[in-house]
Amino acid sequence: MQGNVPRVSIIILNWNGWQDTIECLESIFRNDYPDYQVILVDNGSQDGSMSHIKEWAEGRTVTAPESGELRVFSVPPVSKPISYVEYERSQAETGGSKSDNSARLVLIRTGTNLGFAGGNNIGLRYASVKKDFAYFWLLNNDTVIRPDAITQLVLRMTEKPDAGMCGSKTPYYHHPDRIWSLGGATYNKWLAIPSNIGLNGSFARDISVVQVEDKLDFITGASMMVSRDFLNDVGLLCEKYFLFFEELDWALRGKGRYKLAYAPESVVYHKVHASVGPTGKYRKYNRVAEYYMTRNSIVLTCKFYPFALPIVFPFAVVKYWLKRFALSFVFRNTEED
């Protein structure tokens, strides 16, 4: 991609995960896209995340993965210092300073955990005030990108001008030969069940862009690029969900006006919290996740598919308690071991 290119805002949400975030940032600042700015929103972390990330940007500490074939995307570290500015939430939501466009990294403190939508919306509000951004890329902090990931997303959005959102090819970080998602997912409105396209398939399997895009009901939030037109027209993420179903809500609100796109050459490796296991802090995470998955499946059904509620509600409740029982069994056996 040469000549004048659309400027991209990369929005990353961090919550008590500075090690993953730094590895993600290392891969981003090694990418080949010529015009972008990284907006890192800290969602009320209590592990000193912002201090660690600032030390990294200033070149005072070096954090890198210990092993693995994906080291090539984040090692050796990019040259430091990396210029940055820092804002509190109130400053960021009004666009910060007019002179911060040259900063490569914008750090924003929310002061509390606002959830996926709330945290990302802080970054979107900041970036949308800057009229030079054409695209906004929401990227999970527990990802590592290939150098051309942004370029390929922008190319696909340019090729498909009626697209408002675009997703990446997303393999598992710990099993890069297996797929977590091809751009996004389908959604069964009668059972309120999302299903990632290509889940657990081979990375090498050849599936056409048209096949994937015909199936897409929404773009998964691990890598989700949206256009300025989409953001201006559809609005921000809905914050009533807090966790899960925000991406589907966003896509449904834009349905009929904007298409969904898939960029197969944009590769983003995702660590996927569930692969870490259900012990320790993930025990609490899994219980919270199950609550919000159940609650939000009902919230979204009431909003978009009220006719399906008599089926969705009892199914969601039964599924919730079955999963709670299964998780308790796993935790109990894990603790005994």
**pTM reported for the whole predicted model:** 0.92
Residue 185's φ and ψ, nearest 5 degrees, are -150, 165
pLDDT at 337 > cutoff 80: no
DSSP category for residue 178: B
Q: Taking residues 304-315, what's their average pLDDT?
A: 97
Q: What's the token pair of residue 328? A: 């308790």
The CA distance from 120 to 161, in Å, is 24
How would residue 53 be classed by pLDDT, with cut points 50, 70 and 90? very high
Is residue 323 within 8 A of residue 202, CB to CB? The reply is: no
pLDDT band at 172 (very low <50, low <70, confident <90, very high): very high
Question: For residues 321 and 108, what is the distance between their CA atoms, to the nearest angstrom?
Answer: 38
Cβ-defined contacts of 190-194 (< 8 Å, 24+)? 190/308, 190/311, 190/312, 191/311, 191/312, 191/315, 192/297, 192/298, 192/300, 192/301, 192/308, 192/312, 192/315, 192/316, 194/218, 194/248
The pair phi, psi for residue 46, each rounded to 5°, is: -120, 20
Given a cut of 60, whether residue 133 has pLDDT beyond it is yes
Q: Is the pLDDT of residue 59 over 60?
A: yes
pLDDT higher than 90, residue 179: yes
Can you name the residues that pair with 140 across neighbouring β-strands? 13
Q: Are 259 and 234 in contact, with CB atoms under 8 Å apart?
A: no
Q: Where are the domains of the chain?
A: 7-276, 281-336
Rg for the chain, CA atoms, rounded: 20
CA distance 228 to 28: 21
Per residue in 79-95, pLDDT (tens digit) is 999 999 999 999 999 99
Burial of 313 (0-12, 13-18, 19+ CB in 10 A): middle
Architecture per CATH, domain 7-276, reads as Alpha-Beta Complex (3.90)
Within a 13 Å sphere around the CA of 224, how many CA atoms are in the beta-carbon half? 27
Assess contact for 203 and 180: CB atoms under 8 A.
no
State the pLDDT at residue 153.
98
Q: Per residue in 255-278, pLDDT tens?
A: 999 999 999 999 999 999 633 333
Report which of 73, 75, 89, 254 is spatially closest to residue 171, judged by C-alpha positions. 73
Beta bridge partners of 144: 269
Pair 244, 237: CB distance under 8 Å: no
Q: To the nearest whole number, what is the mean pLDDT of the chain?
A: 91
